[in-house]
């Protein structure tokens, strides 16, 4: 029987595109869910004076929360293959809630209107870079590696400037942070899209992949928002 090879390739390409679109939608669904949890928890904590005093009036507790957040991200990344899909999901949700507790600080520092407007700016920038990462045919691996190395430099510069307290360095770090996390958003989106075909048909692998992808994008969004808030936020 005659088989049209071009037609078969076209059908396979459409099926692959459908699988990728479905997986990426799940990843973004989990990311948005986590952002909602973070926002709700942050608002509830910020409007509870007793919690605010208990958390932000105790440096040991506050640094303990920051340390717990860091350890959860590292632990989830390293132990994801040994976890069940449901455990990984629960840990991710717990992390987003814990992040909301420390995120309450922004409601104490910045006005609600500037937080809302900056969130909109962040969503626009994030969405644009995510769309680029999804549709581009260019391999972003090299750029992703460059942005990751730049991120390490950004962290070091931030720590140094905590002691140096140089205003020029502060703004250099701020604008560099915006550029780095915009780039990482595009890179992570492309990586997640490519991941889709490797986890198709395996619920455990697909859910874990979705959770890790959502975590990466969640961190990109949160950090981009924080750096943009430095620029556009109005302090109380």
What is the pLDDT confidence band of residue 14, given thresholds at 50, 70 and 90? confident
pTM: 0.94
Q: Using alpha carbons, select from 232, 214, 222, 229 the residue that is nearest to residue 31.
A: 214
Exposed/middle/buried for residue 2 (C-beta within 10 Å: 0-12, 13-18, 19+): exposed
pLDDT at 7: 67
Return d(Cα 213, Cα 95) in angstroms, integer: 14
Alpha helices in the chain (DSSP H): 5-46, 49-56, 59-79, 85-103, 105-109, 112-135, 141-164, 167-199, 203-232
Return d(Cα 180, Cα 144) in angstroms, integer: 9
What is the pLDDT confidence band of residue 16, given thresholds at 50, 70 and 90? confident
Q: Using alpha carbons, select from 224, 226, 227 the residue that is nearest to residue 216.
A: 224
- Average pLDDT of the residues of the chain: 94
Residue 40 has pLDDT above 60, yes or no: yes
pLDDT tens digits, one per residue of 61-119 = 999 999 999 999 999 999 999 999 999 999 999 999 999 999 999 999 999 999 999 99
pLDDT at 6: 65
- What's CA 149's distance to the chain center, in Å? 17
pLDDT at 13: 81
* Helices 85-103 & 59-79 angle (0-180, nearest 10): 150
Return d(Cα 136, Cα 143) in angstroms, integer: 13
pLDDT at 1: 46
The two most distant CA atoms of the chain are separated, in Å, by 77
What residue spans define the domains of the chain? Answer: 5-232
């Amino acid at each position: 029987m005659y088989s049209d090879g071009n037609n078969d390739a076209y059908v396979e390409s459409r099926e692959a595109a459908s699988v990728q679109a479905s997986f990426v939608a799940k990843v973004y669904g989990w990311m948005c869910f986590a952002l909602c949890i973070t926002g709700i928890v942050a608002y509830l904590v910020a409007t509870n004076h007793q919690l605010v005093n208990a958390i932000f009036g105790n440096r040991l507790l506050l640094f303990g929360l920051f340390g717990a957040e860091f350890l959860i991200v590292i632990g989830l990344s390293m132990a994801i293959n040994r976890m069940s899909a449901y455990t990984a999901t629960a840990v991710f949700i717990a992390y987003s809630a814990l992040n909301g507790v420390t995120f309450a600080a922004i409601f104490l520092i910045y006005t609600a209107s500037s937080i809302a407007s900056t969130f909109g700016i962040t969503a626009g920038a994030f969405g644009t870079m995510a769309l680029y990462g999804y549709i581009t045919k260019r391999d972003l691996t090299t750029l992703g590696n460059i942005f990751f190395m730049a991120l390490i430099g950004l962290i070091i510069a931030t720590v140094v400037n905590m002691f140096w307290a140089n205003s020029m360095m502060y703004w250099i770090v701020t604008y560099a942070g915006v550029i780095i996390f915009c780039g990482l958003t595009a890179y992570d989106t492309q990586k997640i899209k490519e991941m889709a075909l490797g986890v198709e048909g395996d619920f455990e692998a697909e859910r874990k992949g979705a959770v890790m992808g959502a975590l990466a994008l969640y961190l990109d969004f949160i950090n981009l928002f924080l750096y943009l808030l430095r620029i556009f936020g109005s302090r109380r």
